[in-house]
Amino acid sequence: MSQQVTIKKRTRGRVNGKKISKPELYKKILEKIQEGYLTPLTIGAQIGKSKKQTRRYIDEMADLGMVNLSADRMIEKTTAQAKRESYSKLEHDDFAQIPEIKKMIELGIAKGNKARTLYGYASNLKRIFNDTETHPSDVVGFGKTKEDAIEFSRQFFSAFKVENPTVGTHGYRIAYKVFLAAHGITFGHGEGKAYGLGSEHDKYGAYAGVHFTKEQTDAISKAILDAKDDEVYLWWRIGLRTGARSGAIASLVWEKIIFNFKDSAGNESFKLEVHETKDPKGHIHIGEDGEWKTKFPTLEVKQLLQKWRESHPEFARFVFFAERGSDVLNRQSIAKTHRVLARRLKTYYKSAAGVWDSLDQLTKDYCEIMPDHMMRHTFAQQCKNAGMTAEEIAEAGGWKTAGIVSTWYSKTSDAEKEKISSKAREIHF
């Protein structure tokens, strides 16, 4: 009778000629991934293994949940890796290495600014200093004063507007003020605007007050429902009833939606939290710094969400898409959701019975530019029309200040102006 032969499972390998256990080997591979090596070939070269061997180890690690692989078996970048790559672009930019610019960038990194934001500042400043044939030290170098910085900006922006009368300067103004602030030159509230360095957008202030009336929102809702487009309808109703930004809606997660909730009087209610990245407050979601803002929408939105969840069990974590295994990929899905739904929503603005023809040109223009942001504008204006104060609207919609609501999102209706004027006429003075 032949003896049964068993083969002991191999649990050790060699890295650069030295014996090493599987856990140690996995650790080495993870270290190389963190360093930026993301293919079996490049990782194998670092640890002394062939491409085929390294591929096998990576697959084992994926089965153990140690690494994330895409559909084509590529190693997914972590959020930290993606950020490091973004910042490395700045490190290789000659202009960004100028000491005065580098100081601004380093301060921005310390404050948690995104790499693309800092890159945008650097690009705008490069344009400013190239056009004026000056060096950053000419503005903030030794012996330079705030008055020198203001005079420099006056010369640049006046010349820029003469040469480019239809081009906005918002990006240049913001970048220049951030640059000055990094070198101790700051402006008090409203002071920057007095010197032509305000933070206001170039043209969006003109769109304050653009919104849909109740009749128009009803018609748009009907058009979406008639098309049986449940995804857009849910997104549209959440946007109208919360005033949340579209990116925040696209990143909604079920764990932040509280269905079994009662208000202070004990009545059925409902609340959810959206993650807004406009004003970072240290609340991290999908690898992004932001702020969780609590909303109390209508029960209609609650019912829509419950129905949506029942019909889409594959969306176990996120409301609008399936979990993809990494922050980087999930952020890609958020951006795609935002982009695609905005485009689809705009088609309903135009197809809804009687809506498009009833809009003034300013509102039509804004629908073309920012179709998704029309939900936020509508929320603000309808709340104002209902008698809510700017402070109340800011609190409900998640704006930083009441001034932002008044300046950029709402305006007093003609009927309200007439009422105010009537009160003024009754005053004897």
At 232-252, the pLDDT tens digits run 999 999 999 999 999 999 999
Residue 27 lies in a domain: yes
pLDDT digit string (tens) for 112-134? 788 888 989 999 999 999 999 99
Rounded to two decimals, the pTM is 0.67
Domain span at 107: 82-202
Q: Are 355 and 300 found together in one domain?
A: yes
Q: Are the C-beta atoms of residues 169 and 161 closer than 8 Å to each other?
A: yes
| Total of domains in the chain | 3
Task: Please tell me whether residue 26 adopts helix, strand or coil conformation.
Answer: helix
In single-letter form, the type of residue at position 293 comes to K
Residues 244 and 101 in one domain: no
The answer on 402 and 259 residing in a single domain is yes
Kindly state whether residues 197 and 218 are assigned to the same domain.
Answer: no
Q: What is the pLDDT of residue 211?
A: 94
Are 182 and 222 contained in the same domain? Answer: no
Q: Is residue 422 assigned to a domain?
A: no
* CATH code for the domain in which residue 245 is found: 1.10.443.10
* 188 and 107 within one domain: yes
Regarding whether 55 and 106 lie in a shared domain, the answer is no
pLDDT digits (tens, 9 = 90+) for 168-184: 898 999 999 999 999 99
Domain boundary among 174, 202, 230: 202
Is residue 6 one of the residues assigned to a domain? no
Handedness of CA 362, 363, 365, 370 (dihedral sign): positive
User: What is d(CA 218, CA 300) in angstroms, rounded to the nearest whole number?
Assistant: 14
Mark whether 327 and 399 lie in a shared domain: yes
Q: Are residues 137 and 194 in the same domain?
A: yes
Q: Are the C-beta atoms of 376 and 370 separated by less than 8 Å?
A: no
* 207 within a domain of the structure (yes/no): no
Residues 6+ apart with CB under 8 A from 64: 26
Residue 262 domain-assigned (yes or no): yes
- According to the model, what pLDDT value does residue 10 have? 45
Residues facing 171 on adjacent strands: none
H/E run at residue 285:
strand 283-285
Beta bridge partners of 274: 293
Helix, coil or strand: residue 290: strand
Could you tell me which residues are beta bridge partners of residue 269?
261
Task: Note down pLDDT in tens along the chain; length 429 residues.
Answer: 445 544 344 445 555 556 778 888 888 888 888 777 888 888 888 888 899 999 999 888 888 878 877 767 777 666 666 666 667 777 778 898 999 999 999 898 888 788 888 989 999 999 999 999 999 999 999 999 999 999 999 999 988 888 887 778 989 999 999 999 999 999 987 788 888 888 777 766 678 889 999 999 999 999 999 999 999 999 999 999 999 999 999 999 999 999 998 888 889 999 999 999 887 888 989 888 899 999 999 999 999 999 999 999 999 999 999 998 888 888 889 999 999 999 999 999 999 999 999 999 999 999 998 999 999 999 999 999 998 999 999 999 988 888 888 877 877 766 666 676 667 667 777
Residues 284 and 149 in one domain: no
Note the Cα 30 to chain centre separation in Å. 30
**Tens digit of each residue's pLDDT (9 = 90 or more) over 375-403:** 999 999 999 999 899 999 999 998 888 88
Question: Do 187 and 144 reside in the same domain of the chain?
Answer: yes
Residue 224 domain flag: yes
